Amino acid sequence: MAQASIGRADLDSVLKSHEGNAALRAAFEAACAEPKALLNVLARYIQFNSAFGAGLANLSGEIAARQGLFRDKDEVVTILQDRASEVAADFFHAAVDEFDDRATPWRDTHRTLAQACLKGMGGYFGFSPAQLKDVLDPGSATADAMTRVWEGYGVGEKLSDERLFSGMGFHVGSEILADQEFTLIDQVLRAKLPEMVQALKNMRVEFSHEKHNAYYWIFIHTSVEADHFDAALAGVNNALGFYTGKDAPESVKGWILDGFRSFARVQGEFMSALAR
């Protein structure tokens, strides 16, 4: 069988027609005019993002457990042939940051950093924690989107080969669009509320027994997601290269691209509802 591969050109047609990030920009630009609106848009975006760490860790484990599916056929010794962990490592690379940001001196999960950002922004606008509790409303659309993210990654399922590869493509979509998302959010906040951004950059928020920079969650994601996308793309191509299942390589590639398109739909629909 000829080896199939995934390149940026395979993703461009979906990206060119995708409008989710335009909706994201519009939601944040409009929300900057009113503190409660901005806090709610940010809170919903943070909640949506919280689904990905669990989904990716689950997917990485599912890949690593498929020793019979990913093998190096050039290796003579049978017990040395499996490459499942090598494939999984490219996906788990991003999960490491989700559960322990490597640039901070203590264990900062990205969830903790996001929560500190939201708490810090609430404080900047003069809301006490008790008041913030009454202000924030994540909404049912956010909960629905989180469920669809877990479905995309296959959380709680016994995954067929097709669902496993679709999950890989779903993750590729999450990384390439997240790279654009955080850059857009950072640009909008710096343009519309530069004094707030500077205040958050200088602010330390006590959360989960440590003091965290209130803008760090947004700042770090303007660069780290590009690295995560590169790793995810390497992962799907390693998966295609080591695949020893019964289906044709082009069929497997199609499953990956189906997953990529699925994430684009989930992200686009969530972003369209973000400001409601």
CB atoms within 10 A of CB 125: 16
Range 21-272: architecture per CATH: Up-down Bundle (1.20)
Token pair of 28 as six digits = 């944040």
Measured CA to CA in angstroms, residue 170 lies from 11, 83, 218 at distances of 12, 21, 22
Answer for the pair 176, 94: CB distance below 8 angstroms, yes or no.
no
Global confidence as pTM: 0.93
Rounded to whole angstroms, the Cα distance separating 134 from 89 reads: 41
Cα–Cα distance for residue pair 225/230, rounded to 1 Å: 9
Q: How many helices (H) and strands (E) does the chain have?
A: 11, 2
Digit-coded pLDDT (tens) for 225-274? 678 888 999 999 999 999 999 999 999 999 999 999 999 999 999 999 99
Tens digit of pLDDT for each residue in 129-154? 899 999 999 999 999 999 999 999 99
With CA atoms as reference, report the closest residue to 174 among 240, 243, 94: 94
Q: What is the mean pLDDT of residues 50-68?
A: 96
